Amino acid sequence: MEKYSGKISIPLLGTIVYKRRNPIITAISKEKVFFEISYEKTGDGKNYLKVNGVKFEKTLEKFLSEYLEGIGETGVHVEVNIISYPKYFEISTYASLSGLLMKILGEKLGYEVTFDDIIKYSPLLETGETLNYLPIIMALRISSLIGKSVIYRLNEGYIELPSKTPLKVHVASLNTPLVSRRIENNEFKDYFVHLEGRNIIESARLIREEKIPYENIVFEEAMQYVFYVIEETVNLNVYFKSKCLAFPDLNYKTTLLCLDKPGTESEAEITVYL
């Protein structure tokens, strides 16, 4: 088996709002996913895909199946073994792996797969749960592939951020989903969508000046309380006291990113670079 590795980026600022396309900021880390691949092209006309070592193996297998079908390839036998990866933000590992595997498998099959190809076609391969999280997944995919923090807006592109200023954050995985709050008043909703988007843009401006947007993170907390039923996902005392933001993760879980230690189970401290 051939061995590979990929960089890991995590979501830093952003809120997913149904039928809106506000920007997302991701932060690159020094964490990596290590994996190995066995590949064989057979003549049996059937594709065999097997992913081992992660909890989202079916999701990644589905992505790869859609990819091979999209480029018209059959008789491809692929096994991917994940050797090690961060045990938080599985959505980050998925975003990194899926983008890398498009390039690795495509080139093994004789295609020239560019970064632009991955950015253009990978959204078409997402289904089900990952399609719901597409703005975050695409931001993470781009960030991990170029090895830089970015601000990204779905279908409009990205801007690289300096990726120099270190920030220690605490992350914690929760076995509860992140549910959108129902907002009937569209005028009210649009007003807060605009505020949230401006907050992300202002945060990116500060980061480009090599400043850490502490106040903007606290403001984003309030925006998430508007758009998510956050009280059903996490204890609000923990959420606000520890200056946390909540992000959807795979298998309908939630991951908290906090400036202060939240004191929950399954938490870790990591350094990201803005």
User: 2-273 belongs to which CATH class?
Assistant: alpha beta
pLDDT category at 77 given cuts 50, 70, 90 is: very high
Q: What is residue 261's predicted lDDT score, i.e. its pLDDT?
A: 93
Report whether pLDDT(179) > 70. yes
Average per-residue pLDDT for the chain: 96
Which run of H or E residues covers position 11?
strand 2-13
* Residue corresponding to tokens 């979501």: 11
- For the chain, the structural domain boundaries read 2-273
The pTM (predicted TM-score) of the whole model is: 0.96
The upper half-sphere exposure of residue 121, i.e. CA atoms within 13 Å in the direction of its Cβ, equals: 19
Report whether pLDDT(150) > 90. yes
How many residues in the chain?
274
Q: State how far the Cα of 237 lies from the Cα of 247, in Å rounded to an integer.
A: 17
Q: State how far the Cα of 239 lies from the Cα of 1, in Å rounded to an integer.
A: 43
Q: State how far the Cα of 80 lies from the Cα of 239, in Å rounded to an integer.
A: 37
Q: What is residue 265's predicted lDDT score, i.e. its pLDDT?
A: 67
Q: State how far the Cα of 88 lies from the Cα of 103, in Å rounded to an integer.
A: 25
